[in-house]
Amino acid sequence: MADAAASKIMPPGSKALAPSGIVVVGVEFSPDPVALGRPANTLLSVMPVKQHTEPTYGYLRQTVRTSNAAVVAEGGTKPTSVFSVVRIEDSLDVIAHISEPCPRYWLVDSPALQQFLTTELTYGLQVAIEAAALATINATSGIMAQAYNTSPLATLRKSLTVLETQGYEAGFMLLNPADWEGVGLALASASAVEYQGLPYD
């Protein structure tokens, strides 16, 4: 739409005539917008996703695992195990936004502005999706927690053990930059022996 609107306004490189008696001089103009800094969306880059073809979806989730398998004598009654599942139904959330109005002549002067706005809108969606994902994860019941123990790195390692004892493997670790800064500063000030074998990298 922006391309079509810009082409109808006036050809690229043309300007309106100046009033009589006015001296027109060239203006040095860099057409590429200078963007603000963008923190990395590390959660979205590592979080597993599943594409859906419909706005609503459902799946079966196991809620109970009680295995009563045992040695049974010949002809004896076999124990009954309980493996319960429930059907979960949910729907996709729509996350969207639009840009504020932009002077149409800016699009003529700077074709890169269209790509800049597209990139900014996409980045805004990524930030909103990451926030929604974190909110959903934090609101999920049954989250396993590990209390602080000795140091941040030791706590992270014990967190891995909590997952492993439940039969899960950690796909990634997500830390606030301020927390990771504390880990780096501790490594620079504390004895290396205290952190030997811990997953710093």
CA pseudo-torsion sign 31, 36, 37, 43: negative
What six digits make up the tokens of 102?
């932009």
Tokens read off for 152: 């941040």
191 vs 47 pLDDT, higher one: 47
Can you give the pTM of this predicted structure? 0.63
Give yes or no for a contact between 109 and 14, defined as CB atoms under 8 angstroms apart: no
**pLDDT tens digits for range 131-190:** 998 899 889 888 888 898 887 778 888 999 999 998 888 888 888 888 888 777 776 666
Do residues 10 and 108 touch, judged by C-beta distance below 8 A?
Answer: yes
Buried b (16+ CB within 10 A) or exposed e, 90-127: eeeeeeeeeeeeeeeeebbbbeebbebbeeeeeeeeee
Number of other CB atoms surrounding residue 152 within 10 Å: 16
Tell which wins on pLDDT, 13 or 59: 59
**Span of 77-81, 87-91, 141-145, 157-161 with lowest mean pLDDT:** 141-145
Q: What is the pLDDT of residues 51-68, one digit of tens each?
A: 888 999 999 999 999 999
> Reduced to 3 states, what is the DSSP secondary structure of residue 57?
strand
Domain ranges for the chain: 1-10+39-44+79-142, 144-201
| pLDDT higher than 90, residue 79 | yes
Closest-CA residue to 69 (of 78, 59, 60):
78
Q: Considering only residues 107 and 30, tell me which one the structure prediction assigns the higher pLDDT.
A: 107
Contacts of 115 (CB under 8 A, 6+ apart): none
Dihedral over Cα of 154, 155, 161, 163: its sign: negative
User: Residue 43: is its pLDDT beyond 90?
Assistant: no
In terms of pLDDT, which residue wins out, 38 or 18?
A: 38
Q: Tens digits of per-residue pLDDT, 173-195?
A: 888 888 888 777 776 666 656 66
- The pLDDT, as a whole number, for residue 10 is 52
